[in-house]
Structure 1
Amino acid sequence: MTRAGARVSLYVSTPVATAGDADVGSRPDDGSRGGRARPAAEPLRLLPLARATGTPVWVDVHDYDGEADYHRPFLEAADAVFCNADRLDDPVAFLRSRVAAGASLAVCTLGADGAVAVDGYGTVHRVPAVPVEVVDTNGAGDAFLAGVLDARLDGADVPAALEAGARTAASVLRSRHLHPLLDAVLDAGRGAS
């Protein structure tokens, strides 16, 4: 993050597949009910397997601009699309376009303005951000997605899932280390009270 709180994306490697990747067999029987993919080489390689097994794919394209070619395979495979509004002129129009293309849910986080979502019926849902003293914004979008995913897997409807995502994001926003439990553990390790 910049001193003004703006996002800075740093890539430590290019999004290409690595040599000597292990072969991926059939879908693991671990009881999992879905998968989440970040736009990177390894998840890109696994998209066809996920689609072939019927595994729902939830994709976070972060600060997608609505045009970059690299994100297309992820967007086309996605059952649920998440992004933030940093580079989108009209987040709701983008979300509607993803649902029209086949996603059952499309969500855009709006920072302090909460989030907006379009479900598979075309209904627009909004949730306010949970008021919190922001310590660090790193990981808030990932936490929001995790909260929504967890709630949906437990059977929550879209509005309740968005509220769960907002609460989960708030727990990260008020933490120095991505989660309050990490703050406690790391502070205890340093001898802090």
Structure 2
Amino acid sequence: MPYFLETDRLALRPVAEADTDQLLALDNDPKVMRFINGGRPTTPEAIRADSLPRFLHHYPCLDNRGFWAAEERTTGSFLGWFVFRPLEDHSAALVELGYRLGRAAWGRGYATEGAHALLRKGFTELGVQRVTANTMTVNARSRRVMEKVGLRYVRTFFDEWPETIEGSELGDVEYSLTRSAWEAKQTKQVTRTHRQTG
């Protein structure tokens, strides 16, 4: 299956039905799911009926999927997945960014590396104008990744979820980055590098 993009350490490819067992293992790690569903186990039926249809959905505006399995480039090991999906099937102007990685991949900069690459591809190749990302207010690790890749805090909001989990009383946060802000940051980095080497 062709890769959607590659970085120094990651290869992102479309999620496939053959990934079902790995997706199930990922969603049955209570620490991975702490800020998703409070760490409750997931059934194979839920993966097949709920997760896979989302993962396999085709977005006409990208002529591609919106969920990407993340593999370690040198070993091919399954690390988790990234989402970079348009909020409308026929417009890539507004895209949601997200990630769910297994514990073995935590603390190694993979989320930041993958998110950086997706932002670059979205803003330079896919016609994306704005990227948004959400997480629980108390999910400090995910918020740090969003900030590292340039997304900025927009708001705290309170949605009604089927079940309350620890920390949900503090709400969720939205972060965002526009193409113009991303381009301005790239220009500053190029200018700074030029000054340092010129």
Question: TM-score when scaled to structure 1?
Answer: 0.28
Q: Which has the higher strand share?
A: 2
TM-score by length of 2: 0.27
